[in-house]
Structure 1
Amino acid sequence: MLKRLLFCLFTEFDQPWRDVTWSEKEQLLQSLKKFQLQIGNVSQLRIMLHGPIGSGKSSFFNSVNTAIQGCNMADALVDSTGGKSYSFTVKKDRPRSFYPFVFADTMGLEPESSNGIHTDDLNNILLGHIKEGYTFNPIHPISTEDIDYKHDPSLTDRIHCLLSVLPADNISLISEEVIQKMKTVRGKARIPQIAIMTMVDKACPLVQNDLEKVYISKRIKEKMKVCSDRLGVPMNCIFPVQNYFEQVTNNVKMDILLLMAIKNIIAIANDYAENQACAE
């Protein structure tokens, strides 16, 4: 009993430090379904996923899709080394109907300059200069003479939110070179950035046993603080989640954390797009 008491004292807060209603999945889904874009010619909010190899970028999109659809989804191939970027939409419950947001997935970042996607290419994606399906070269970023380079991208072509995906279990071990690449991209783009912290179940035994304790766990908050300090992202823009990996049926707690994250991502991306439309 004493051992258990000491364990809780050093691993748990008395109260959750971020509010979560663990019965609100349906409300979160309805909020997404009711969301409508009302920004001139912008038909979709564009959200770009980036992060180190193995961070769970593609798995995050698949997990969000699984949470929304209510069944196992795997539209994005989990391949961190692919040389192309792909856009993924999320279907609504009617034929040929989609949510007004799209995810752009890219190859993972690596420490070596000769591997992974070049930061100049990431910046050009953010600014809407690169056409869908372009094959990236880690050493030679796209040039303005390339046939896949868009010279006059519209607000619709541009990225409206940068989503940095990092693994909670080894966030401290990510090389400084990769972190600097991520910060360089954010600094050049000057668009909203949100961090998704995946693999919270691997980072904390308490959370592995009960996902509801994600915002009671001292270890998870420490990991989020490390993420904030290393990336320069404020704590209220960091969302810990557990991606679907082995599961083939939906888990309500996993879904709620994923839906909370996407709801905030959409709100921030929409606000940015509205401001940009007013400024043009």
Structure 2
Amino acid sequence: MGIFSSKEKRPESPILNEPWREEPLGNNEDDLQYVKDYKPAKRNIKHLRVLLYGPVGAGKSSFINSVNIIMQRRNAIPAAASAITSDKSFTKKYQTHRIQIGRGDNKKFYPFVFNDIMGVENGMDSGVCPEDIKLAMKGHVKEGYKFNPVAPLSEGDQYYKNKPSEDDKVHVLVCVLSANAPEIKDSVLQKMSSVRETAADLGIPQMAIITNIDTACPETEKDLKNVYRSTYMQDKMKKFSSAIGIPLNCMFPVKNYSYETRLKDDVDTLIISALRPMIDFGDDFIENIVEQNVEEVNQGIEDEGR
């Protein structure tokens, strides 16, 4: 039942002599500048849309806040997040979070946004409905929609968008999982699998971030640089990969900003290392949209000429 025992204890975690993945150290400035310089591949798409989903308490809102802190280089909290562990979702509404550039009259926003949703919960009448996540991926969910655990959004509702633009649609789907979660129930995995199948049908790229790596493993708690030398973290990520079907090279461990009041290089490194491929994957999808549209236009011209 689930992929981990509910009685799983905080483990002994031997440190490997060599990291099991190349360590992303020392490139913060280059990677941060890469993110800052990003522009979507298609002109009529104003921003790359990232949709975060996953079990309750995995750290979706906290990840958005952490990205905001890093990009603004100061403490900033755009997404309400709970510091209390609960089996019920803190996020209730569909909301788009933009990352601000500058202040006052010079205020602008980066060309990528995050959408936060209610968590996936155990049981059929709790947590976000998988159908709502699928509608969000297709761009049908309007800002401010309040999630209903027992009934998904439907056509005719005031929060249903009938004709979503390419800008409304999701360009990369990110599964957020907690490394210190004791158990992921089978019903939660089934809901997530259903979401993943729809994303695959739509061609939307998928990846995962693994949060709370400091509280899950004593070696990463001592030093975040140990994350790719920790046998526990290696094993945990392999289990996650097997359970949710996302390849290891599309999974990234992070530590969200939680108690810190100042920026920390090691925290930044892991989050930026996840943010950069997030943007790359989404931009590849946007570029594919461009190519598909060109092919459709050319095909239409050919058909008219016959």
Q: TM-score, normalised by structure 1?
A: 0.93
Q: Does 1:242 find its partner at 2:255?
A: yes
Cα distance, 1:54 vs. partner?
A: 0.7
The question of whether the paired residues in 1 share the 8 Å contact of 2:208 and 2:250 is answered with yes
Q: Does 1:178 find its partner at 2:188?
A: yes
Q: Does 1:194 find its partner at 2:207?
A: yes
The question of whether the paired residues in 1 share the 8 Å contact of 2:13 and 2:230 is answered with no
In the alignment, the residues of structure 2 paired with residue 77 and residue 150 of structure 1 have an alpha-carbon distance, to the nearest angstrom, of 25
Q: 98, 102, 114: which is aligned to 1:89?
A: 98
| One-letter amino acid matched to 1:138 | P
Measured at CA, do residues 66 and 152 of structure 1 come closer, stay the same or move farther in structure 2, by a change above 3 Å?
same
In the alignment, the residues of structure 2 paired with residue 82 and residue 25 of structure 1 have an alpha-carbon distance, to the nearest angstrom, of 30
Q: Does 1:38 find its partner at 2:47?
A: no
In the alignment, the residues of structure 1 paired with residue 235 and residue 158 of structure 2 have an alpha-carbon distance, to the nearest angstrom, of 46
Identity of aligned residues (%): 39
- 1:145-160 paired onto structure 2 within 5 Å: 145-160=156-171
Q: Tell me which moved more, 88-97 or 70-79.
A: 88-97
In the alignment, the residues of structure 1 paired with residue 65 and residue 129 of structure 2 have an alpha-carbon distance, to the nearest angstrom, of 25
In the alignment, the residues of structure 1 paired with residue 41 and residue 277 of structure 2 have an alpha-carbon distance, to the nearest angstrom, of 17
The question of whether the paired residues in 1 share the 8 Å contact of 2:254 and 2:267 is answered with yes
What is the Cα-based RMSD across aligned positions, in Å?
1.5
Aligned partner of 1:164 in structure 2 is: 175
Q: Per-residue displacement from partner, 1:73-102 (whole Å, max 9, x unpaired)?
A: 211001533321111011124622211100
Measured at CA, do residues 116 and 21 of structure 1 come closer, stay the same or move farther in structure 2, by a change above 3 Å?
closer
- 1:226-241 paired onto structure 2 within 5 Å: 226-241=239-254
- 1:70-219 paired onto structure 2 within 5 Å: 70-79=73-82, 80-93=89-102, 95-170=106-181, 173-190=183-200, 191-219=204-232
Aligned partner of 2:288 in structure 1 is: 275
Cα distance, 1:21 vs. partner?
A: 4.2
Bigger radius of gyration: 2
Aligned partner of 2:27 in structure 1 is: 24
Cα distance, 1:10 vs. partner?
A: 6.7
| One-letter amino acid matched to 1:37 | P
In the alignment, the residues of structure 2 paired with residue 154 and residue 56 of structure 1 have an alpha-carbon distance, to the nearest angstrom, of 29
Measured at CA, do residues 213 and 10 of structure 1 come closer, stay the same or move farther in structure 2, by a change above 3 Å?
closer
| One-letter amino acid matched to 2:22 | D
The question of whether the paired residues in 1 share the 8 Å contact of 2:13 and 2:232 is answered with no
Q: Tell me which moved more, 68-77 or 121-130.
A: 68-77
Q: Does 1:54 find its partner at 2:57?
A: yes
Measured at CA, do residues 10 and 114 of structure 1 come closer, stay the same or move farther in structure 2, by a change above 3 Å?
closer
Aligned partner of 1:5 in structure 2 is: none
